[in-house]
Amino acid sequence: MFTELRKRVQHGRYLFVQPPGRDARADEPNETDVGRYVSETVVALKPHLLGAEARGGPTVFVGDSWGAIAAFATAHELFKSCDWAPAGMLLSGNASPRATSAHCGLGSYSPTPMAQLSDKELLAFLRESGVEDDDDERLGQLVAPFRADCQLYENYVRPEQLPALPSKLCVLRGKEDKVVSQSEACGWVEEFDCEDDCEVVDVADATHHVHEEQPAAVADHILALADAAVQGLERA
């Protein structure tokens, strides 16, 4: 998806939140504390959004799977502490915050708490959710970070008193997604105060892994959010 974006907007600035326990931080323990995850993300992003490193132009937060909740919680922390919110948010692959708060780690797919699920069961879920990888060893390397993300999902509880975020919203759901239902995805709309600027889209030819399967479509919607924000600034 980043490659698709980069082709179209070479001058854009792209910031990636890299949690511990994967990729360049693979040697660090996976994070399972929601508060610490969000606070460390806020600290890492704030200079780029509000400090000396900040640049002009609209900001769009993108969150997929657990990252959707992480992006939402991070935006709320910035809104509360700095009165700042992204111009737009693109969220996918996750139930709304209220639905998430009532779920165990695999959402509506399974009511079993993460502590009771084996690695074998998590691998089975990954395959059933649409991950196509015949290399058992490589797929096995995903289990620890995936378990951590599911534990964060399970531990998340939406605060009772949350203002609606003043960001434009686009929620993407793979049309063949068997993990997140359409009603669970639509629940995101109530979390945003953007009148008619909310969109929930079923993406054709995609399962739970819409970013991997339809990167061009995801990029289209991210750029639409950015363009809408620019047009709003020009009208103002």
pLDDT in tens, 192-224: 997 677 899 999 999 999 999 999 999 999 999
pLDDT for the residue numbered 195: 66
pLDDT in tens, 45-60: 999 999 878 888 889 9
pLDDT at 120 over 70: yes
pTM: predicted TM-score of the whole model, two decimal places: 0.93
Average pLDDT of the residues of the chain = 92
Distance between CA atoms of residues 219 and 231, nearest Å: 18
Distance between CA atoms of residues 139 and 84, nearest Å: 39
Mean pLDDT within 17-45: 93
Percentage above 90 pLDDT, the chain: 76
Task: Name the pLDDT band for 67 (thresholds 50, 70, 90).
Answer: very high
Mean pLDDT within 177-192: 95
pLDDT for the residue numbered 235: 62
Measured in residues, the chain has a length of 236
pLDDT at 30 over 90: yes
pLDDT for the residue numbered 52: 79
pLDDT for the residue numbered 61: 98
pLDDT for the residue numbered 135: 66
pLDDT at 72 over 80: yes
- Domains defined for the chain, CATH in brackets: 2-235 (3.40.50.1820)
- Amino acid found at 122: L
Lowest mean pLDDT among 71-75, 96-100, 130-134, 232-236: 232-236
Distance between CA atoms of residues 138 and 45, nearest Å: 31
Rg (CA), the chain: 17
